[in-house]
Amino acid sequence: MRRRVVVALRWRPVGIEIDGVHHITLRVGDLERSRSFYAGVLGLVADQDFPGEKLRFRLGPHTRLVLRPPLPGTAFERDGGRRLGLDHLALGVPTRAELDRVVAVLRGAGVRTGGVREPGVVSFRDPDGIAWELYEKD
């Protein structure tokens, strides 16, 4: 005779006090091409540089963007987002004027963007096809 065992899982809120995003790590196809985009186009300042291993930028006072080369055997998919995993990254900027400035910089560098859309967002992709959004903070 078999017995049926019922297990009840109980989840209790942990109450982690999140104070922001420490870092975001992206695997990129080419560190130097990504450096040209993130530093040259977006104007981010690298605060760590280990050639061939990783490159780190500051995104505001507390958040870092870490770029690393692909792992061996990594398949690249640039089909407009039809993959599992990261969909896009969204960051805040202080004003609508900053969004307008970013659009001009992106277009000047040949980066495709639809400009500022309501409710105050600019969308674009990096050289590896990673989608980014910049939002006017409310």
Q: What is the pLDDT of residue 10?
A: 63
Work out the burial of residue 108: count CB atoms within 10 Å of its CB; fewer than 13 is exposed, 13-18 middle, 19 or more buried.
Answer: exposed
Q: Are 135 and 93 found together in one domain?
A: yes
Q: Are 97 and 63 found together in one domain?
A: no
pLDDT tier, 138 (very low <50, low <70, confident <90, very high otherwise): low
**Residue 80 domain flag:** no
Q: Do the Cβ atoms of 125 and 88 come closer than 8 Å? A: no
Q: Are 68 and 92 found together in one domain?
A: no
pLDDT tens figures, 15-28: 656 667 889 999 99
Q: Going by C-beta distance under 8 Å and a sequence separation of 6 or more, which residues neighbour residue 15? A: none
Rounded CA gap, 88 and 132, in Å?
A: 6
Looking at the structure of the chain, the number of domains it has is 2
Q: What is the pTM of this model?
A: 0.74
Percent of the chain exceeding pLDDT 70 equals 78
Domain encompassing residue 30: 21-72
